Amino acid sequence: MAFEVKPLTGAIGAEIFGADVSDPAQDGDLLAAFAAHGVIAIRDQDITLDQLTAFARRIGVINVNRFFAAVPDYPEVALVVKEPDHKTVIGERWHTDHSYDRVPAMCSILHAIETPEIGGDTVFASMYASFDALSEGLKDMLRSMKALHSSQHIFGPARKDAEVRDTGRIGNVDLAIQDNIHPVVIRHPLSGREALYVNPEFTVSFDGWNKEESQALISYLERHCTKPEFTCRLRWSPGTIGIWDNRATWHKAVNDYAGHRRQMHRITIEGVALTESHMAA
């Protein structure tokens, strides 16, 4: 291995030093670190947008985001930016990307271009470790369940924080029509481990449960899954490339840098259909 991997915590996350994502020979080791740790921060990557997209294509098929503004001349690259006068950040609630799609995304790749001197971190939670720590009775119940995930309340006309739309950071509200049902517990396609697959942002309800019952369970799972022992915090710096597994982690952006600018470039990689844990055991 041509680079150094330093775990961030016992449950999730690792920093990588000495790697070069423009070198295809390192792809296999980088993907192995990604699969093992759920989220990796590859430090000191001074690369072009062409090199970033080439790296992403070697990982898988790029998903062109429906809602985010794109980097000019690079439709595959979403522009994630917060200007000094913006109050709201995108992704401030715990979630995993694209769970509303029929085939959810494999991973997201985020390249830090401009970051505040202090703040602007992203926090991640392991859906392996948090599921493993549940009682056997609750795990058995969750294995038998399915949940509805939707994009409509986040990216559609009903979105409450109009500032994000008004500043052009997201658009195409008419395309926010995704409603899909997924298993609540999946057998991860890379690791073979069981992982919890619901999230507070996009999961609307559990199949056969009413809204009040569903929200009560989602709230409980949010409190449980975001305990410190299941999480890590990623401090960004210009040149860092973060890659996280959308089937095994949650994340949220920390909005603590008012008056400062933060710009990131994001690429999402297509995944595969999810399988119920007991079906693939």
pTM of the shown model: 0.92
Residue 106 near residue 60 (C-beta atoms within 8 A): yes
Distance of CA 227 to the CA centre of its chain: 18
Q: Report the pLDDT value the prediction gives residue 34, as an integer from 0 to 100.
A: 97
| For range 215-219, the mean pLDDT | 97
Cα–Cα separations (whole angstroms), residue 194 to 111, 188, 222, 248 = 29, 6, 18, 9
| Catalytic annotation present for 179 | no
DSSP 90-121: TT-SSB-TTTTSSS--SEEEEEEEE--SS---
Rg (alpha carbons) of the chain, rounded to whole number: 18
Amino acid at 226: T
Query: Model confidence at 281, in pLDDT bands (50, 70, 90)?
Result: very low
Residue 102 near residue 54 (C-beta atoms within 8 A): no
Q: Report the pLDDT value the prediction gives residue 150, as an integer from 0 to 100.
A: 80
What percent of the chain stands above pLDDT 70? 89
Q: Report the pLDDT value the prediction gives residue 280, as an integer from 0 to 100.
A: 43
| Catalytic annotation present for 266 | yes
Q: Which listed residue (37, 95, 143, 247) is catalytic?
A: 95
160 has a pLDDT exceeding 80 = no
Q: Which listed residue (98, 111, 169, 251) is catalytic?
A: 251
171 has a pLDDT exceeding 90 = no
Q: Report the pLDDT value the prediction gives residue 69, as an integer from 0 to 100.
A: 83
Measured from the Cβ of residue 75, the count of other Cβ atoms closer than 10 Å reads 11
The region that residue 38 occupies, defined by phi over 0 for left and psi between -120 and 50 for alpha, beta otherwise, is left
The two three-digit tokens of residue 255, written as one number: 């909005």
Query: Model confidence at 68, in pLDDT bands (50, 70, 90)?
Result: confident
Question: What's the rounded Cα separation, in Å, for the pair 190 and 249?
Answer: 13
**In this structure, what DSSP letter does residue 236 have?**
P
Please, what is the Cα angle at 161 between 156 and 164, to 5 degrees?
80
Measured from the Cβ of residue 141, the count of other Cβ atoms closer than 10 Å reads 14
| For range 36-64, the mean pLDDT | 96
Taking only the tens place, the pLDDT of each residue in 228-245 is 999 999 999 999 999 999
Question: What's the rounded Cα separation, in Å, for the pair 26 and 46?
Answer: 16
Residue 43 near residue 15 (C-beta atoms within 8 A): yes
Please, what is the Cα angle at 127 between 121 and 128, to 5 degrees?
125
Taking only the tens place, the pLDDT of each residue in 94-144 is 999 889 888 999 999 999 999 999 999 999 999 999 999 999 999 999 999
175 has a pLDDT exceeding 80 = no
Query: Model confidence at 159, in pLDDT bands (50, 70, 90)?
Result: low
Q: Which listed residue (37, 111, 247, 266) is catalytic?
A: 266
| Catalytic annotation present for 37 | no
Q: Which listed residue (20, 66, 86, 97) is catalytic?
A: 97
Domains of the chain: 4-279 (3.60.130.10)
Query: Model confidence at 3, in pLDDT bands (50, 70, 90)?
Result: very high
| Catalytic annotation present for 97 | yes
